[in-house]
Amino acid sequence: MKEWQKFLFIIAIFLGAYFISWESTLIRQSGLEAFMMLQEYARQHVLTCLIPAFFIAGAITVFVSQAAVLKYFGATANKILSYSVASISGTVLAVCSCTVLPLFAGIYSRGAGIGPATAFLYSGPAINVLAIILTAKVLGWQMGLARAVGAISFAVITGLLMAFIFRKDDAQRQTGELFLPEEDGKARALWQDALYMLTMALILIFASFARPTETDGGLWRLIFSAKWYLTAVLIIVLAIMLKKWFVKEELKGWVEATWGFSKQILPLLLGGVLVAGFLLGRPGHPALIPEHYIQALVGGNSLWANFFASIVGALMYFATLTEVPILQGLIGAGMGQGPALAMLLAGPALSLPSMIAIASIMGIKKTAVYCSIVVVLSTIAGMGYGWLL
């Protein structure tokens, strides 16, 4: 954080302390809801969900070559392979809508077709592995799955539509292969890295395994009763892998990458939880913004509600993961499930600052078409998801 940003932050805290009318019953209730929501996240999501997810994200950053991903976007690369890699690149890169822009500018200016490039532009922030995990944990596995499937599908569809609409412009661009350095070969086999990643994923799954409902089958109850035993065994297995297969420098890099994600994301996330709790409250606990306002704008599953949620999501800037507590508060205040998904699909991939930057890279016309495609697809997906539920 720059010095002027620190100064503004201090000023904002001072003005809040000076002017907020804490003698008001509504303000006190909203403040209580902010810290109650923060406590809920600390107890239910941070230890069993976020910390394992940070370690997984750190491992992906260190042990998966970004150069190996980006090389598939060159003009001479296989198209099926290009779109396949572009659509899932967010799980490797784990960046926000602004962080992905330098990467997009680099591959687009150095020869990537507009189709794979825009598929990558959408996928980078939309399929953030941390965001998908937290969405499923907080908003339910249905929403997490819908977000993952929708984001991957949108990346491919958006790229194909952009490639078709601007096929003449793309053909006139000077294209060529992207030359990116490869990382040095590793001593481990591919199956060893895959098993290492799988073990961490299983630790995350069992550690955050939710208490089954009365309608769930006996298998889910059995898994829940044994979740900590299974987690302990997996941690022992992971420790053996780390001892046998990894060198000290690799483990140091993994811990540093994990800590980097933690200090970058946790303050923003917890701050977002406080703001969402203060404005919207927890489900069933009203706060500053009256619930009937939310219900009037994005309640139900109408075309307007989904379109409005998509537009607002596209214009707002969501710091990484902060969209989850915001959506949790909005859903608790009466937002429909369809509009919630629409905002999740449009929000992280776009923001007003990123739109301006994208326009400087590929022009106003292409940027307008790209943003319109994302908003329309998000609206359609939201309506479909709301209809299914």
| HEC readout, 322-357 | CHHHHHHHHHHCCCCHHHHHHHHHHCCCCCHHHHHH
Among the listed residues 223, 282, 225, 251, the one whose alpha carbon sits nearest the alpha carbon of residue 38 = 282
Phi-psi region of 94 (alpha: psi -120 to 50; beta: other; left: phi over 0): left
- Select the more confidently predicted residue: 362 or 339: 339
Separation of alpha carbons 17 and 1, rounded Å = 22
**Model-level pTM greater than 0.85?**
no
pLDDT of residue 141 exceeding 80, the answer is yes
Q: How far is CA 106 from CA 43, 73, 155, 362, in A?
A: 41, 11, 18, 12
374, 315 Cβ separation under 8 angstroms = no
Residue 65's pLDDT band (cuts 50, 70, 90): low
State what percent of residues in the chain have pLDDT above 90: 19
188 in helix, strand or coil? coil
- Write out the two tokens for 153: 């599908």
Phi-psi region of 334 (alpha: psi -120 to 50; beta: other; left: phi over 0): left
Average pLDDT over residues 289-295: 80
- Which pLDDT does position 385 carry in this prediction? 94
Tens of pLDDT, residues 18-48: 888 888 888 888 888 888 888 887 887 777 7
- Write out the two tokens for 201: 């994923």
Separation of alpha carbons 317 and 177, rounded Å = 33
Among the listed residues 219, 345, 236, 333, the one whose alpha carbon sits nearest the alpha carbon of residue 283 = 333
Average pLDDT over residues 104-123: 78
pLDDT of residue 285 exceeding 90, the answer is no
Distance of CA 82 to the CA centre of its chain: 22
Separation of alpha carbons 314 and 10, rounded Å = 29
Question: What's the sign of the alpha-carbon dihedral 142, 161, 71, 263?
Answer: negative
- Which pLDDT does position 99 carry in this prediction? 57
Separation of alpha carbons 323 and 100, rounded Å = 17
200, 52 Cβ separation under 8 angstroms = yes
Separation of alpha carbons 258 and 250, rounded Å = 12
pLDDT of residue 315 exceeding 90, the answer is no
Residue 75's pLDDT band (cuts 50, 70, 90): low
pLDDT of residue 181 exceeding 70, the answer is no
223-247 residues labelled b (16+ CB within 10 A) or e (exposed): eeeebeebbeebeeebeebeeebbe
Of all helices (H) and strands (E), which one includes residue 211? none
Compute, in degrees rounded to 10, the torsion defined by CA atoms 351, 352, 356, 357: -30
Q: How many CB atoms within 10 Å of residue 183?
A: 11
Separation of alpha carbons 110 and 48, rounded Å = 42
- Which pLDDT does position 235 carry in this prediction? 93
Tens of pLDDT, residues 211-253: 776 766 677 788 888 889 999 999 999 999 999 888 888 889 8
Among the listed residues 170, 66, 200, the one whose alpha carbon sits nearest the alpha carbon of residue 124 = 66
- Which pLDDT does position 90 carry in this prediction? 62
- Which pLDDT does position 173 carry in this prediction? 58
Q: Where are the beta strands (DSSP E) in 136-196?
A: none
- Select the more confidently predicted residue: 99 or 25: 25
- Which pLDDT does position 106 carry in this prediction? 66
Q: How far is CA 251 from CA 55, 159, 192, 198, in A?
A: 11, 37, 15, 17
- Select the more confidently predicted residue: 320 or 184: 320
DSSP 16-56: HHHH--TTSHHHHHHHHHHHHHHHHHIIIIIIIIIHHHHHH
Separation of alpha carbons 233 and 17, rounded Å = 48
328, 348 Cβ separation under 8 angstroms = no
- Which pLDDT does position 95 carry in this prediction? 55
- Which pLDDT does position 96 carry in this prediction? 57
- Write out the two tokens for 324: 């989850």
